[in-house]
Structure 1
Amino acid sequence: MGSFARPAFFWAGAAACTAGALLHLPMYLHARHMGYRMAGMPVDTPMLIGMLLIVTGVAAVLHGLLPRGSDALRRQVASVRVRAVDDAPLRPAHVALLAVLSLAVTIDVMKPMTLSFVVPGVAKEYGLASPLNPGGDVPVSWLPLSGIAGTMTGSFLWGWLGDRIGRRGSILLAGVLFATTAVCGAMPSFSWNVAMCFLMGTAAGGLIPIAFTLLVETVPQRHRGWLMVLIGGNVTVAYILTSWLAATLTPTYSWRILWLAGLPTGLLLIALNRWIPESPRYLLATGRTEEARRVLARYGSTLQDAPAVAAPDETGPARPGYRGLFAASFRGPTLALTVLAVGAGLMSYGFQMWLPTNLGRLGIAEVSSDRVLRDSALISLPLNVLTALLYGLWSSRRTVIALAGLTAAALVALAVLAETAAGHGLPLRLLLLVPLWGISATAAVLAAYSSEAYPTPLRARGTSWAAGTSKAGGVAVLGLSVAAVAVPPLGVTALLGAVPLALAAVAFALYGPETRGRRLDEIVPGQVPARA
């Protein structure tokens, strides 16, 4: 399914990273008689050795994944154009790939979601400023800000890595970093927590766009859209699992166990690597034609020659950078996706994150607020299935327009009723259901559409651009929290999400190409720039 360029380096590095992470556990276990409070504990020798092993191991993993002849790859990748037989049926190999990547997406989404569950414990252990402890000197908001800034950075970085070390290699690198950055749960100082949380966020931000890039290049055309949106809807599953783990484990093992859980989940992703193929297009770009044919045969597809869109420029890098997304042929779809990503980020990190506080201001008890969020997450599951079917069987473009427009309308209605919302029990719940479902549904269609809307040389970066832009709203929102700016009222947070979503609906109506039922190389025809 695509062997490593240097397997000995990869597996030796993975083993070193695992050993390094395990060497952080003795200090954590030593603190069990203190309720696993590690604040102020000195870093011991095993932990220092573990850090050295992790740094060395990550370097070895990267060397093991880097393709041979990478300079030639930069000259070849822009000229590779292949077509797979898109009417192939779903095979057991497809099902295995979908199951593994669905698990990977769930694990990935759980990382940033964990932030909201660990922040109260972190603030209490380190005496940080928080809503429950306004007298602290250092805001606990630095932790989620670091994590979300990491996811934004990782989205852009993995867009480059997806073209550099391959789709499969990028996913496995994220798994290695999931396992190693689990040591965030054993860090004795808050500053180390902030640093490790950034690295953890980097891996989390990078995995999803590359996973969708691999899916779109492997799944048959007629099943491509609805399956990707369905997997993207795992945001809801991740929320339910994270809240369950927090309620079950943290009372006994403290908030730290939620980070330490990243070690087994990361190792699980690496162990399942045999069911993660390399993209056939990437294999061809690196000169591994027979390997590409074997991968495609396993998935019931063959290769057909297609004319190149643009010849590579031998005098410079043939692979376009992020500026290639704004070339004339792709400017419209990129604009539409960017506006949708901004709206998705402001909904997730603004409206949703501040919703419990705003419901409390309206006189709705904390328990009732948690119940509203839980019920909305559960109801979102069947609604996400409906969204996937509409996207794949009706129209991708119209589904995005309808979803953005409906969510924007519900947010505007909430803004109008904001001051009297507490007196409208049932209408309030119904109105809240739409944007809370819209958060997971928008994230799903954003990931799916961005991975379909660009040709192979731009696909990883296009998907990563959309993912990174959606995280920018989180960085802005959490930056306000660090600056101790008061939480905006419900009406303001609703309008902050409604405006870009309404604009996104208009932008998709004007510039969004239809992706359903079309080959990947026919969706946005045009030249891929040779330079960027």
Structure 2
Amino acid sequence: MLPSKKSSPSDSQTSTGFDDVPLNRFHLKITALTFGANFSDGYHLGTIGIALAAIAPQMHLGAAWQGLLGASALIGIFAGSIALGWLGDRIGRQLLYLLDFLLIAIASVLQFFVTGPVELFVLRLLIGIGIGADYALGPTLVAEFVPRKHRGGMLASLTVLWTVGYVAAYFLGNYLVNLGPDAWRWLLMTGAVPAVLVLVLRIGTPESPRWLISKGRIDEARAIIAKYIGKGVDIEAIAAEPNENAGGYRELFGRAHLKKTVFGIVFYNCQVIPYFAIYTFLPIMLVKVGFGEDEFFGNALLNLFLLAGGIGGLWLVAKLSRRRLLIWSFVVLTASLGVISLWPDGPIPLIFGLFLIFTFVMSASSNLDQVYPPELFPTELRGSGVGLLNGASRLGSAAGTFLLPIAISGIGFGTSMLCLTAILLIGTLTTVAMAPETRNLNLK
């Protein structure tokens, strides 16, 4: 009789499906590498909000140009998410996942040399295109590699890094802007540092096995799974699914996916339009809610609540269903901003307290921005679907960011906040009516 063979870790996975493999170091690595887009997005939004205070008087910018520069990266994210998310479904995730941060790094450095608002607008547009591409491709890769048991937490953690980037920009920016009239140039250029780091670390990232399987390249998928996940992992359920060609955006609006596409676009926009508009111009908001005399304290406290909300949101994503968390988040956000809108001259402790609640809940619920979209669509449409939702949300955010300073000067603070409250109410009603439950979903 032959001696028994000792089992190995890979042998123990022989009958384990790809969606149910144990979490390993590679899953953590691919998630960590995807943090880059979220950190960069938060960081670039935070830096431009601080830099504009110095740029505006130097370049004699009016409200329109300030709004355009504040929204420039968001416009780029729209273009990058739409175009390169679609391209990722056709040529794969791997190459674009690497090149997008090369674009971000180069454009970030060139910001130091701008002489006018047009040049700065174009460069921040390019930065946004790179971030937008990564918003479409990064969560897609994470969703397609990470086992379903851990998918929600991993995807939600991406949004926390947006908050970390935004908070880091605030504290670094407030230090740098006091060092001289050109300190804003150094501040904007610092965005190249994380971009270069991410670019270098991403070299060697493998292609998505799910994408390879969807293209009929089964052997290549098996080789990647064996190297990074483990030998003997069962992919038969995935390989046996119909091998469809990517249908692109037309398919997203077909009968099979229309409801999920519409829900995704509406919920994402209704959440991020108030978020980006308010926090791009946070100094203005603080003056309006009565913290003009101690702006640094109020700003610092709000940034800490943003960070706390992002971390707390990880626990909420793990404990609650996607649908339940989103509905109740919208309810709280609508109620708190609604009171601020209708009673802007109310007692400062009350108004600022509601603003802190709004900040915490907005940050916590925004973790779903990276969780829901990849779970709504099948593999052959995932890059396009995630790209469309991210792109559409940033187009709405760009419009809101551009219009907010104009609206405040034209129709007043309370009415402007009431408009943002109406957007949150639309998000509440849409989520109640249309939100699917995707927790523990087996990805197709």
- Find out whether 1:477 has 2:400 as its counterpart: yes
- Find out whether 1:291 has 2:217 as its counterpart: no
CA distance in 1 between counterparts of 2:262 and 2:151 reads 23
Of 33, 37, 49, the match for 1:116: 49
Of 32, 45, 58, the match for 1:99: 32
CA distance in 1 between counterparts of 2:142 and 2:74 reads 25
Cα distance change of structure 1 residues 251 and 176 upon mapping to structure 2, 3 Å threshold: same
Shift of 1:290: 3.3
Secondary structure of the residue aligned to 2:256 is coil
Of 193, 196, 200, the match for 1:267: 196
For the 8 Å contact 1:96–1:275, the answer to whether it is kept is no
For residues 16-415 of structure 1, the aligned pairs below 5 Å read 84-129=17-62, 139-182=65-108, 183-252=110-179, 254-274=183-203, 276-286=205-215, 288-297=217-226, 298-300=228-230, 301-306=233-238, 312=244, 318-368=245-295, 370-415=296-341
Cα distance change of structure 1 residues 350 and 499 upon mapping to structure 2, 3 Å threshold: same
Instruction: Give every structure 1 segment of 4 or more consecutive aligned residues whose post-TM-superposition deviation is greater than 4 Å.
Output: 285-288, 306-312, 481-485
Of 343, 350, 356, the match for 1:433: 356
Aligned to 2:5: none
Shift of 1:481: 6.5
CA distance in 2 between counterparts of 1:245 and 1:141 reads 22
* Residues 405-462 of structure 1 deviation map (CA, whole Å, 9 limit, x = unaligned): 2211212222232232xx241x223211222223333432122101111111111122
CA distance in 2 between counterparts of 1:389 and 1:151 reads 28
CA distance in 2 between counterparts of 1:409 and 1:203 reads 35
Secondary structure of the residue aligned to 1:141 is helix
For the 8 Å contact 1:336–1:504, the answer to whether it is kept is no
Provide structure 1 residue ranges, at least 5 long, that are not aligned to the other structure: 1-82, 131-137, 313-317, 522-532
For the 8 Å contact 2:323–2:437, the answer to whether it is kept is yes
Aligned Cα root-mean-square deviation (Å):
2.7
Cα distance change of structure 1 residues 399 and 250 upon mapping to structure 2, 3 Å threshold: same
Secondary structure of the residue aligned to 2:236 is strand
**Higher mean C-alpha displacement, 491-500 vs 508-517:** 491-500
Cα distance change of structure 1 residues 286 and 271 upon mapping to structure 2, 3 Å threshold: farther
Shift of 1:218: 0.8
CA distance in 1 between counterparts of 2:419 and 2:152 reads 29
Secondary structure of the residue aligned to 1:233 is helix
Cα distance change of structure 1 residues 486 and 278 upon mapping to structure 2, 3 Å threshold: same
Of 504, 510, 521, the match for 2:427: 504
CA distance in 2 between counterparts of 1:432 and 1:470 reads 23
Cα distance change of structure 1 residues 145 and 518 upon mapping to structure 2, 3 Å threshold: closer
Q: With the length of structure 1 as denominator, give the TM-score of the two structures.
A: 0.73
CA distance in 1 between counterparts of 2:155 and 2:404 reads 34
Shift of 1:280: 0.8
Aligned to 2:6: none
Letter of the 1:471 counterpart: R
Q: With the length of structure 2 as denominator, give the TM-score of the two structures.
A: 0.86
CA distance in 2 between counterparts of 1:281 and 1:198 reads 31
CA distance in 1 between counterparts of 2:140 and 2:402 reads 30
Of 446, 452, 461, the match for 2:375: 452
Secondary structure of the residue aligned to 1:272 is helix
Aligned to 2:8: none
CA distance in 2 between counterparts of 1:477 and 1:282 reads 35
For the 8 Å contact 2:325–2:365, the answer to whether it is kept is no
Cα distance change of structure 1 residues 188 and 518 upon mapping to structure 2, 3 Å threshold: same
CA distance in 2 between counterparts of 1:469 and 1:401 reads 21
For the 8 Å contact 2:214–2:380, the answer to whether it is kept is no
Shift of 1:256: 1.0
Letter of the 1:305 counterpart: A
For the 8 Å contact 1:152–1:202, the answer to whether it is kept is yes
CA distance in 2 between counterparts of 1:469 and 1:228 reads 19
Letter of the 1:120 counterpart: A
CA distance in 2 between counterparts of 1:350 and 1:152 reads 16
Cα distance change of structure 1 residues 499 and 336 upon mapping to structure 2, 3 Å threshold: farther
Shift of 1:85: 2.5
Cα distance change of structure 1 residues 480 and 322 upon mapping to structure 2, 3 Å threshold: same
CA distance in 2 between counterparts of 1:354 and 1:491 reads 15
As a proportion of its length, which structure holds more helix? 2
Shift of 1:223: 0.7
Letter of the 1:332 counterpart: K
CA distance in 2 between counterparts of 1:503 and 1:141 reads 24
Of 437, 441, 444, the match for 1:518: 441
Cα distance change of structure 1 residues 191 and 499 upon mapping to structure 2, 3 Å threshold: closer
CA distance in 1 between counterparts of 2:42 and 2:324 reads 26
Aligned to 2:387: 464
